[in-house]
Amino acid sequence: MKIGIGYDVHKLVENRKLIIGGIHIPHERGLLGHSDADVLVHAIMDSILGALALGDIGKHFPDTDNSYKDIDSMLLLAKTYNLMVECGYEIGNVDCVIAAQRPKLAPYIDSMRENMARVLNTDKSNINIKATTTEKLGFEGREEGISTQVVCLLKNRD
């Protein structure tokens, strides 16, 4: 078994869609990034890559590569999943926390879990996603951005 941690943060800006966990969430601002800036998916990818000691998403999907410009992060998660399988591992479980003052994410969490489970080829019961505010403290509380922390456990496929 191997364990990995992931962290990601993106700034909220005008004229961008808010995509979290592969779900478009209606909001007046979206996350800024080279790809679709899906803060949850990026942190999950980093946790998997970390557990495998394969670096981070910047190494595998650099923002200097225009082929990743505005790409759906779920496609990048699928590529990360394939790396995990090639290394002989599968998901044990993934536990995530998203910090955002607004919008309220609770209505979307079940769909996010289903998306992650589908792409990671695991049961939805192995994916946990929590959302919290920061009680108006810090950049999340001031609604300047959204952050996500993830821990994952990988187990041998044998």
Q: Which two tokens stand for residue 20?
A: 């979290």
- Report the CATH number that the domain containing residue 136 is assigned in CATH: 3.30.1330.50
* Rounded Cα gap, residues 122 and 2, in angstroms: 16
Q: Span 120-143, mean pLDDT?
A: 97
Q: 142 a known binding residue?
A: yes
Please indicate if the annotation marks 60 as binding a ligand: no
Which residue, chain included where needed, has tokens 């926390």?
A: 97
* Share of residues in the chain with pLDDT > 90 (%): 95
Q: Please name the residue that has the structure tokens 């019961």.
A: 125
Helix (H) or strand (E) holding 95: strand 89-99
Q: Has residue 121 got a pLDDT over 80?
A: yes
At 158, the pLDDT band (50, 70, 90 cuts) reads confident
Mean pLDDT value of segment 100-116? 97
The 10s digit of each residue's pLDDT in 37-93 is 999 999 999 999 999 999 999 999 998 999 999 899 999 999 999 999 999 999 999
pLDDT band at 96 (very low <50, low <70, confident <90, very high): very high
Asked if the model's pLDDT at residue 1 lies above 80, the reply is yes
Q: 95 or 70, which is more confident? A: 95
Domain range for 41: 2-156
Q: Is 9 annotated to bind ligand? A: yes
Count up the domains in the chain and report the number. Answer: 1
80 is in an annotated binding site: no
111 assigned binding-site residue? no
Q: Mean pLDDT score of the chain, rounded to an integer?
A: 97
- At 41, which helix (H) or strand (E)? helix 39-51
Distance CA 20, CA 104 (A): 12
Task: Please tell me whether 148 is known to bind a ligand.
Answer: no
Neighbours of 79 (CB within 10 A): 12
The answer to the question of whether 139 is labelled as a binding residue is: yes
Reading phi first (left if > 0) and then psi (alpha if -120 to 50, else beta), residue 97 is in: beta
pLDDT computed for residue 23 by the predictor:
97
b/e sequence 124-152, b meaning 16+ C-beta within 10 Å: eebbbbebeeeeeeebbeebebbbbbbbb
β-strands 2-13, 30-31 pairing: antiparallel
Q: Which residues, 6 or more positions from 86, have their beta carbon under 8 angstroms from its beta carbon?
A: none
Average pLDDT over residues 112-123: 98
Q: Is the pLDDT of residue 102 over 90?
A: yes
Contact 82, 51 (CB under 8 A): no
Residue 20 clears pLDDT 80, i.e. is over it: yes
Mean pLDDT of 99-114: 97
